Amino acid sequence: MAEINIVDDKLQIKDKVLPLEYLGDEPSEPGYDYRVEPYGITGELGKTIDAAKITIGPDGWTPPQRIMKNKRGRILDFPVEGDGIIILLEPDSDSVQQIPFDSSKSNVKNPVAISYEGCFICLKAGSHGMKVVEIQTPPFKSGDGKALDIDSDEVPEIFKQAYLKLVSNSK
């Protein structure tokens, strides 16, 4: 059972419930099957964190993204429903992390991908699609992340290879 989720405009973390304010859908990149629903956390806590629900269609994926700003900040991605994988490359790392998830397995606890300035990340859904809860501290500001074309010179070769292998299995 998931220990974190967004349900009915509330962020649920274990037995804590935090009210959220829906901020309207973020536009998705053309050619990708995903939707981002951003939320502000109400009250004093909202000055330090925010949240989003990311829904990816069956066998869909997000574009590769580079975390640009937020030196001390962190972005936590928790898969909560469906199946899929998160690929993550940390700065100065020589290996790409692959974080799998399948909610059909019994007693599944949310894995987490933690990204920060300089990281590259992509979310890839399996045949059942995938929902991900993302928590960011400090709250998201324009320019914190940058969607990239996989052929961009900004994308490290090791991440590019992992990404292309992952998405080519879905075509």
Q: What is the pLDDT of residues 27-57, one digit of tens each?
A: 888 889 999 999 998 877 778 888 999 999 9
Residue carrying structure tokens 């050619």: 31
Q: What is the pLDDT of residues 109-118, one digit of tens each?
A: 778 899 999 9
Give CA separation, 147 vs 25, 70, 121, 163, in Å. 16, 16, 10, 14
The full set of domain ranges for the chain reads 4-168
Give CA separation, 121 vs 18, 57, 136, in Å. 27, 18, 14
The whole-angstrom separation of Cα 49 and Cα 159 is 28
pLDDT recorded at residue 43: 77
75 vs 106, higher pLDDT: 75
Q: What is the CATH architecture assignment of 4-168?
A: Sandwich (2.60)
The whole-angstrom separation of Cα 85 and Cα 76 is 14
- Which class for 43: exposed (0-12), middle (13-18), buried (19 or more C-beta within 10 A)? exposed
Let me know: does 85 contact 100? Beta carbons within 8 Å. yes
What's the DSSP call for residue 144? S
**What's at 141, amino acid-wise?**
K
> Residue 106 — very low, low, confident or very high, per pLDDT cuts 50/70/90?
low
